[in-house]
Amino acid sequence: MLTITRAFQFCAGHRLYRPEWDDRQNTSVFGLCANPAGHGHNYTLEVTVSGSLDPETGMIMNLRQLKEVVFAQVISDVDHKNLNTDVSWMQSVVPTTEMFAEKIWERIVSVLAREAPHVRLEDIVLHETPSNRVRKTRS
């Protein structure tokens, strides 16, 4: 079994807060990330799939197909957008990096299973900053 990883870059903004909390509680929990004006990140998303080597093509999966799935399901929705207000599948949650990674996983796992059943989504790594990243793995 082999794995391949494709990386994607995009920019998005967000604000970490719970509307039912007052400003003091939001700032206490989320710090500067609760700023009402929000803030942005230059994200990197790494998507790793595994599978058997196709003897005809020499590939596990055509990386162009992986790119198309991730762009259609994630990047086209989030690039240069506000996660709180512009992205329907993020509006019901606090858009932490952890929650964002969970939602990205949900967006691509079923599409890959349908469109590329010969591979399995192994993990995604969402880099919010050069220092902060979240890894979601197949359970």
Q: Which sequence positions are flagged as catalytic?
A: 33, 80, 128
Amino acid sitting at position 84: N
Distance (Å, rounded) from C-alpha 78 to C-alpha 90?
Answer: 10
Rounded to an integer, what distance in angstroms lies between the CA atom of residue 111 and that of residue 50? 15
Tokens of 127: 């880099």
**Confidence check: pLDDT of 139 > 90:** no
pLDDT of residue 93: 97
> At residue 121, does pLDDT exceed 90?
yes
Residue 45 contacts residue 7 (beta carbons within 8 Å) = yes
What pLDDT was estimated at residue 14? 98
- Which CATH number applies to 2-137? 3.30.479.10
pTM score above 0.75: yes
Contact in structure between 49 and 118 (CB atoms under 8 Å): no
Convert the pLDDT of each residue in 61-84 to its tens digit.
999 999 999 999 999 999 999 999
Alpha-carbon span 114 to 112, nearest angstrom = 5
CA distance between the termini of the chain: 18
Summary mean pLDDT of the chain: 97
pLDDT per residue as tens digits for the range 19-66? 999 999 999 999 999 999 999 999 999 999 999 999 999 999 999 999
Q: What is the pLDDT of residue 34?
A: 97
